[in-house]
Amino acid sequence: MTDQTAADSPPEGDDAPAAVAITGANRGVGLAAAQEVARAGHPIILLCRSERRGREAAETLAPAPGRRPHQVVAIDLAALSSVRRAAAAVADLGHPLAALVNNAAVLPSERTESRDGFELQLAVNHLAHFLLACLLFPLLVRRPGVARVISVSSGAHYGPAFDFDDSSYRRKPYDAREAYQQSKLANVLFANALASRTRAARASVQALALGPGVYDTELLQDYLAGGPAFGSPFPVARPETAGPIVADLAIGRPGEDLNGGYFDRGVRTAPSPAALNERDQERLWTWSASVTGAPDIPTSR
């Protein structure tokens, strides 16, 4: 873990701006989000696969206000043990969280497995982020006022239902685009299931999913390598322009209840019918909790 500004900072009072944790904050949409949220005065916890790339990204952020510096925490989302270590390192910082932005993603052209034996897109894009959110939930609840969990999904989530029988492509042939669609659907199913839990517990945490738009990033190149995009040609924006969209949902809109929403570039809209299937939301939650060993999120006060 690297501290970017004030090495020996004493803890601040709870009136200081709470931190925002962002996975994959070193490039693309994640970096743009980190830069915009830092400009708004929040310390950023950059959860990055490479500590060096995380440090380089942190150097591009507006300085953190007060005595809570930006922090880089190493995380390999392809290994659940690394997610646990990273969550413990974040907890050790002792900051309440204003938001967790589950942003990082992969789209490999060949079937690949995570360290724990799951298909890599399912593992990185969904399972690791599921575990991270459950482990960091107490830090979100601790924030005075509302905290948010943002699952960065995609318009690609519109499509068939989650395949509970063969989600890791052990029997059926691997299809990179289809696996991406499934992992992005899992992001929305998870956001809805978490929203139900925070609603039932009357917790001050709002869970939502975002289709951020289309940006010129490495992930887009990986997506396009699989063939022409649906509905193409479509406008491709510079990743920097994603920053205000993510920041608005993470730390903006005070007093608005965003819980359970799906946002297409910031506009609340209907997700796919598959994402609204409550049985699948709960089934995915139960399965994800059992294979990751994630702690329970309380469903009552």
Ligand X SMILES: NC(=O)c1ccc[n+]([C@@H]2O[C@H](COP(=O)([O-])OP(=O)(O)OC[C@H]3O[C@@H](n4cnc5c(N)ncnc54)[C@H](OP(=O)(O)O)[C@@H]3O)[C@@H](O)[C@H]2O)c1
Which residues would be at the binding site for ligand X (CB under 6 A)? 24, 26-30, 49-50, 53, 75-78, 103-106, 124, 152, 154, 212, 214-215, 217-220, 239
Q: How many residues does the chain have?
A: 301
Cα–Cα nearest to 99, from 225, 252, 243, 280: 252
Q: Read off the tokens for 53.
A: 């790339």
Compute and round to an integer the Cα radius of gyration of the chain: 18
Cα–Cα nearest to 31, from 260, 187, 212: 212
Q: How far is the CB of 282 from ligand X (least distance, A)?
A: 23
Nearest to ligand X of 92, 218 (CB atom): 218
Q: How far is the CB of 26 from ligand X (least distance, A)?
A: 5
Helix residue ranges per DSSP H, 212-271: 218-224, 243-251
Phi, psi angles (nearest 5°) of residue 222 = -65, -40
Nearest to ligand X of 12, 51 (CB atom): 51
Nearest to ligand X of 4, 143 (CB atom): 4
Q: How far is the CB of 23 from ligand X (least distance, A)?
A: 6
C-alpha 247/C-alpha 36 separation (Å) is 6
Catalytic member of 180, 215, 223, 262 = 180
Q: Is 2 exposed, middle or buried (0-12, 13-18, 19+ CB in 10 A)?
A: middle
Nearest to ligand X of 31, 146 (CB atom): 31
SS3 assignment, position 139: helix
Please name the residue that has the structure tokens 């724990």. Answer: 116
Please name the residue that has the structure tokens 């702690």. Answer: 295
Q: How far is the CB of 109 from ligand X (least distance, A)?
A: 14
Q: Is 255 exposed, middle or buried (0-12, 13-18, 19+ CB in 10 A)?
A: exposed
Q: How far is the CB of 131 from ligand X (least distance, A)?
A: 13
Nearest to ligand X of 18, 25 (CB atom): 25
Q: How far is the CB of 216 from ligand X (least distance, A)?
A: 7
Cα–Cα nearest to 16, from 38, 42, 54: 42
Phi, psi angles (nearest 5°) of residue 248 = -60, -40
Residue nearest to ligand X (CB): 28
Give bridge partners of residue 122 from the DSSP assignment: none
Does residue 169 carry a catalytic annotation? no
Nearest to ligand X of 78, 205 (CB atom): 78
SS3 assignment, position 56: helix
Contact 45, 20 (CB under 8 A): yes
**Catalytic machinery residues:** 180
